Amino acid sequence: MLINFWYAAELSASLRDKPVKVRMLGQNFVVFRDSHGLARCLSNVCIHRCASLADGWVSGDRVVCPYHGWEFAGSGQCQRIPSLGPGQAPVPARVRVDSYPVQERYGIVFVFLGDLPEAERPPLMAVPEWDQPGWRCNTSEFSLKANYRRVVENALDPAHAEYVHVVGRRGQDPEYSVPAYDVQESEWGAGMEVRFRSQAGGFWKHFRDQSRETVAGTTFHGPSQFVTRIHIDRKMSVYQYAFDTPVDLFTTRSFLVSARNFFTAPLFDFVSERQNRVIVEEDRRVIEHLEPAVPFESSGADFSVKADAIQLCYRRRLKEWEARGWRIDTGRLAAVPPGTGLHVIPSPGRRELRGWQFPAVPLVAPTELPEGSQAARA
């Protein structure tokens, strides 16, 4: 799992007047809305006696610890320790928890989990159709008991639909193959596209122009976000933007923004949601049972063919981001007996201030970037 990327934390609609506990990258966070309606995200453990801030409540712009009433602002700074009493010394500056940058878009609260200063942060994947006339977007959420890399590789895989999804013919088509494709790389990801004449399945088959080719492609952005663009025919298109958050090594929470340029009335959202659920359940039957649950480290440890080129590119890009020193050392974390230690995802504040109560998660040391890597070329 990688720090220094934006991750989807919660649906905006789920964040009302109570703090919410969110687990990401194997650690707990509290997400709350302050009195101005701004979403905030802090490390969840109070540095005093280690209570869960998410079990407390919101008071004005602060989240209040349920154990001793310590009040933390959105900056992470503690601003009130009730036991000090009135007229006592001010709260010491080092009484603070990590606070993470937040942006709220597309009906989702996104949190930057890492310590990079603003100018160096990889951007969030954009959804240009969100407020574009002629498009309708709806946001939904689901969970998978699978490692995030397994989830992303599944989405990037042009060969699985024929066997896993309702559009495919499961070996009944003697002409089936994955057409050759090019991988287009960009600063923070890569994508591909294939054209095929699909056996139209599902709801949309009644409306599409059956004589037309379908063009479909997927582009990943960072370690756990991707968009699948399906041009069903010349007029109808569906884009699926997935913001997948590693809850831990074995669980992925997926926030999906579906954009369509037909049946744009909101009342058709339920059709889009039903289609998405069908597809997710089809994938779930396979990817929750892959072994090992956490993919091999070496790209050559499982066997790949030509159609897997985009997945191999994804694996290579992950290695580049790991080489920057952004990978959490889950091996070292696993050596801590369960329930006996506490680590925190480092926030940008750790680069500016000294004196943090709890240690940051251990990271795999940076290495030389692999030759020919995107970052090395740039």
Cβ nearer to Fe ion, comparing 53 with 156: 156
From residue 221, give the alpha-carbon distance in Å to each of 5, 127, 142, 206. 10, 12, 20, 33
From residue 190, give the alpha-carbon distance in Å to each of 81, 317, 374. 49, 9, 10
Cβ nearer to Fe ion, comparing 168 with 189: 168
Cβ nearer to Fe ion, comparing 244 with 283: 283
Quick check: helix, strand or coil at residue 48? coil
Q: Least distance from C-beta 233 to Fe ion, angstroms?
A: 21
Cβ nearer to Fe ion, comparing 4 with 275: 275
Quick check: helix, strand or coil at residue 318? helix
Which positions lie near Fe ion, rule CB under 5 A? 283
Q: How far apart are CA 136 and CA 269, in angstroms?
A: 9
Alpha-carbon torsion 295, 334, 352, 8, what sign? positive
Q: How far apart are CA 154 and CA 152, in angstroms?
A: 5
Q: Least distance from C-beta 281 to Fe ion, angstroms?
A: 10
Q: How far apart are CA 248 and CA 271, in angstroms?
A: 31
Q: Least distance from C-beta 203 to Fe ion, angstroms?
A: 17
Q: Least distance from C-beta 157 to Fe ion, angstroms?
A: 7
71 Cβ partners below 8 Å, 6+ apart?
59, 62, 63, 64, 65, 78, 79, 80
CB 107 within 8 A of CB 257: yes
Q: Least distance from C-beta 273 to Fe ion, angstroms?
A: 17
Cβ nearer to Fe ion, comparing 283 with 308: 283
Residue nearest to Fe ion (CB): 283
Q: Least distance from C-beta 283 to Fe ion, angstroms?
A: 4
Cβ nearer to Fe ion, comparing 91 with 194: 194
